[in-house]
């Protein structure tokens, strides 16, 4: 099962990658817009990069708890895409497209790490495609800095461990370059790995000491990271250390929704089972040293999750993100476990069932006489049955999402029609419900009073639509400098209706 990539294997790989694309894209079969509030926010930020000053001015107005601007690398990537495509209409394809990129990188990593074991690498991307998503833990269904970082994570883990194992300085420096790229893109996707990487270096301390100058170059990471943090958030030098230390602690309440998440929200029980089999197979086959980094990765994340469950604080990376970092570490182990299980099953059948005539091995031998030319066919049939059963079990609950974490639609086609109309009018600030507000700037270029969680104060919107009388509404409009109102129901105040739809009425404010 090892060897070069033949034409047939390349076709099989392409089919599996197509399978991953379809599964990840499937929620968009009936919905052509981004699902998650975060996705709309990143579209807004990438568009603002067209005006450098506008980007950083808006950054200062956003919720500082989320450290806006720390993901400018991701926003720049989206900005480049916006030169070629309309981000709002194109975004639906980006999660699936990037999942395929991530799966292809994972295939390459596993293929190389396992000495060109094609089928083990193929199993890895199938398990990767089975990773689940929800609006709390996010995942492959959404294109965010976390999912953008996945292929980079796979690569820097591989390059770093290969470089140390083979004492190849070029590979180590390549991993350093990827880590530096992640700092302005999604620094958490590097921070979470520090415990695993440090422990890995401790196990290889002789090589580290021998090449101390090489590993001192990794000081570039904290130096660049601290400077980037200081200047992007404009933190005074005197407050930098305390501010940074506080930022690297993620207490309960950091997330918009805090839950005692189940491990099965992100990965299936079959995947976990075969991951455990994979760990056992690696240890028992005395390959721990070769695959050590892939054992330390999930182990350190599990410890971090336990610390959070015990203390209420997660260090270096948020509890919610750790769940997904754990999930993306498992497909390789699950593939290793399933592959080992299949190989052992085939060997058992060959030794204890399909015996040559008159040969016996122990009291448990069944000794079925099978024509040699059918033996391989039978073994392949058994392998196929095992694979199909595992495949069914792996994807059986793929769309099973906790009710409170299900997909939501920020806008629908009617909302998009209203926003398209609004985009043709002179620019002005818009008052609308928070969900619709998240899509207003990406579609129309108009600023909003507030959105769901990133910008402004939602209480102003609630007061305007639910509690205030017309005089107070007029005060809010003047205070917020509002030009347009999009209301789901008629307003009794003296505002000019310029567009009416079943669920949206657009008013223009004359001041």
pTM, whole model, 2 decimals? 0.90
Helices 269-284, 292-311: inter-axial angle, 10-degree rounding: 130
Rounded to the nearest 10 degrees, what angle do helices 319-352 and 372-395 cross at? 160
CA distances from 255 to 175, 305, 381 (A): 30, 15, 48
pLDDT at 59 over 70: no
- Per-residue b or e along 274-304, where b marks 16 or more CB atoms closer than 10 Å to that residue's CB: bbebbbebbeeeeeeeebbbbbbbbbbbeeb
Burial class (CB in 10 A: 0-12, 13-18, 19+), 459: exposed
First to last CA, the chain: 75
Q: Average pLDDT for residues 22-28, to the nearest whole number?
A: 95
User: Confidence band (pLDDT; 50, 70, 90) for 153?
Assistant: very high
Mean pLDDT of the chain: 86
| Model confidence band, residue 388 (pLDDT cutoffs 50, 70, 90) | very high
Band of the pLDDT at 378, cuts 50, 70, 90? confident
Q: Long-range contacts made by residues 279-288, C-beta under 8 angstroms, separation at least 24?
A: 279/333, 279/337, 280/337, 281/336, 281/337, 281/340, 282/333, 282/336
pLDDT tens-digit map of 302-311: 999 999 988 8
* CB within 8 Å of 58: residues ≥ 6 apart: 45, 48, 455
d(CA 100, CA 140): 10
| 348 and 290 Cβ atoms separated by less than 8 Å | no
User: What pLDDT sits at residue 63?
Assistant: 45
SS3 of residue 455 by DSSP: strand
Spatial CA neighbour of 146 closest among 328, 410, 21: 328
Residue 185: pLDDT above 80?
yes
In this prediction, residue 64 has a pLDDT band, given cuts at 50, 70 and 90, of very low
pLDDT digits (tens, 9 = 90+) for 138-151: 899 999 999 999 99
Q: What is the length of the chain? A: 511
422-431 pLDDT, tens digit per residue, is 999 999 899 8
Of the candidates 427, 424, 412, the residue with the CA atom closest to the CA atom of residue 504: 412
pLDDT tens per residue across span 231-253: 877 778 888 888 788 888 888 76
- Is the CB of residue 231 less than 8 Å from the CB of residue 94? no
């Amino acid at each position: 099962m090892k060897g070069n990539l033949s034409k047939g294997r390349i076709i099989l790989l392409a089919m599996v990658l197509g399978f991953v694309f379809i599964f990840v894209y499937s929620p968009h079969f009936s919905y052509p817009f981004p699902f998650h509030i975060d996705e709309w926010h990143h579209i807004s930020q990438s568009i603002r990069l067209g005006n450098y000053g506008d980007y950083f001015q808006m950054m200062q107005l956003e919720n500082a708890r989320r450290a806006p601007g720390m993901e400018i690398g991701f926003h720049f990537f989206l900005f480049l895409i916006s030169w070629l495509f309309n981000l709002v209409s194109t975004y639906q394809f980006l999660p699936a497209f990037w999942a395929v990129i991530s799966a292809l990188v994972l295939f390459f990593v596993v293929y190389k790490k396992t000495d060109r074991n094609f089928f083990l690498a193929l199993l890895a991307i199938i398990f990767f495609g089975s990773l689940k998503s929800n609006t709390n833990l996010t995942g492959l269904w959404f294109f965010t800095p976390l999912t953008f970082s996945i292929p980079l994570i796979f690569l820097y883990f591989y390059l770093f461990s290969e470089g140390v194992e083979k004492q190849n300085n070029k590979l180590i420096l390549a991993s350093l370059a990827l880590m530096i790229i992640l700092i302005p893109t999604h620094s958490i996707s590097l921070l979470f790995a520090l415990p695993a990487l440090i422990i890995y270096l401790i196990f290889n301390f002789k090589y580290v000491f021998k090449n101390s100058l090489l590993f001192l170059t990794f000081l570039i990471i904290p130096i660049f990271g601290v400077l980037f943090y200081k200047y992007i958030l404009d933190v005074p030098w005197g407050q930098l250390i305390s501010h940074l230390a506080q930022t690297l602690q993620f207490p309960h309440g950091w997330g918009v929704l805090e839950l005692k998440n189940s491990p099965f929200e992100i990965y299936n029980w079959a995947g976990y089972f075969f991951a455990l089999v994979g760990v056992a197979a690696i240890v028992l086959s005395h390959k721990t040293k070769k695959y050590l980094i892939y054992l330390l990765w999930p182990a350190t994340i599990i410890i971090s999750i336990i610390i959070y469950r015990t203390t209420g604080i997660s260090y270096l990376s948020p509890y919610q993100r750790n769940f997904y970092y754990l999930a993306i570490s498992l497909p390789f182990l699950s593939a290793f476990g399933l592959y080992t299980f299949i190989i052992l099953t085939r060997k058992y059948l060959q030794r204890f069932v399909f015996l040559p005539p008159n040969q016996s091995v122990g009291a448990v031998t069944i000794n079925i006489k099978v024509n040699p030319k059918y033996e391989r066919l039978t073994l392949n049939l058994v392998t196929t049955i095992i694979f199909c059963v595992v495949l069914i079990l792996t994807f059986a609950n793929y769309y099973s999402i906790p009710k409170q974490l299900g997909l939501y639609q920020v806008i629908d086609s009617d909302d998009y029609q209203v926003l398209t109309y609004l985009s043709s009018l002179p620019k002005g600030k818009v008052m609308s419900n928070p969900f619709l507000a998240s899509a207003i700037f990406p579609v129309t270029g108009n600023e909003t009073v507030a959105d769901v969680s990133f910008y402004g104060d939602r209480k102003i919107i609630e007061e305007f639509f639910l509690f205030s009388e017309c005089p107070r509404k007029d005060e809010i409009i003047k205070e917020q400098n509002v030009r347009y109102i999009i209301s789901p129901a008629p307003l009794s105040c003296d505002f000019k209706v310029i567009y009416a739809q079943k669920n949206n009425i657009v008013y223009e404010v004359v001041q």
